[in-house]
Amino acid sequence: MFVLMIENTGAAYALPEKGIVGQHAVFDPAVLEAPSINDEFKAQYSEEQTKVFLKRANRMNTITYPFNPLDAVGWHGDLSVLKLNWRDIRPLMSHRYHLPPSAHTTFVGNGFVVCTFVPRPIESDPGALKVPFYHNNDDYDEVLFYHAGDFFSRDNIEAGMMTFHPAGFTHGPHPKAFQAGLEAKKTFTDEVAVMIDTRNALEHTSAAADVENSEYVYSWKVGK
């Protein structure tokens, strides 16, 4: 099982500005799920000692309670844990124009955005670009987490993989995917992926280096 965790330190998540398409575009806020005090929640009630790990200033602290603190009987306010199912996302589309990734923004954080790519019809106009255009991010680092499906802009990508494109690194569709787009072999994308674009430069740990595919940088060469 693979889990992608994105920490928004020093701020709360917010929904993106949706402009003239309106607040119900991409996903209706009504589909956001908040916790409810149901039987499953009440089953957590316990008088057993519970440790809570708190991260502050990149250091971990431990708070020990003589009971399980997840024992709420109610709460008041509008700051809460929320859940969004990718199946409830209705992506913006154009049959004549390949929309930029920013059109798929689902959450805005402190210095970064989270975009979600879900299955959608591919542009049908004969002159439309069917795959992402070649580009480089001058001001943002880009990380993509592949959750499920067949990522249409390149091959040799499987669920659980991640790609990292630092600012200034030119990238785009894999040659095979570009050719498939020209030949219009696919009419529908079958992919679920999460992208994080960060204003601040990212650093990777030794854990990432241990699983890195060092040949990835050469994967856009013709014939690869």
Q: Which of the residues 98, 104, 147, 174 is marked catalytic? A: 98
According to the annotation, is 135 in a ligand binding site? yes
d(CA 153, CA 189): 10
Question: 98 an active-site residue?
Answer: yes
Closest CA to 101 of 88, 85, 120: 120
Residues in Cβ contact with 29 at an 8 Å cutoff, skipping those fewer than 6 apart: 15, 23
Q: Provide the sign of the torsion angle of the four alpha carbons 45, 13, 32, 152, taken in this order.
A: negative
Reduce the DSSP state of residue 101 to 3 states and report it.
helix
> Cβ of 131: how many Cβ atoms within 10 Å?
22
- Which H helix or E strand runs over 205? none
Detail the residues annotated as belonging to a binding site for Fe cation. Answer: 135, 141, 171
Detail the residues annotated as belonging to a binding site for homogentisate. Answer: 171
Detail the residues annotated as belonging to a binding site. Answer: 135, 141, 171
The residues carrying an active-site annotation are: 98
